[in-house]
Amino acid sequence: MAGFKVGDRVSQANYGTGTITSADDHHTVIEFDEHGVKTFATNVVVLEKTASPAPEKASRSRRASKPRAKA
């Protein structure tokens, strides 16, 4: 996996485009735009660099709290 580092945008044949979130000598973890997080064996995964930007992540809304009951 020479030349790739955490944060790189890559493309993989089965899952499409994604962002490398973790990489070491044994495992490479990629968060794919449409398929979630996948872990690959570093020495066998075939990746290509891509210039496509990461999609905007939806902001997580906070649940509205209930008003406290008066005692």
Rounded alpha-carbon distances, angstroms, from residue 54 to 8, 26, 62, 65: 10, 25, 24, 32
Higher pLDDT, 68 or 13: 13
pTM for this one? 0.76
Average pLDDT on 51-64 reads 77
Query: Nearest 5°: phi and psi at 31?
Result: -95, 105
Computed over every residue of the chain, the mean pLDDT equals: 87
Structure confidence at residue 1 (pLDDT):
53
Structure confidence at residue 34 (pLDDT):
92
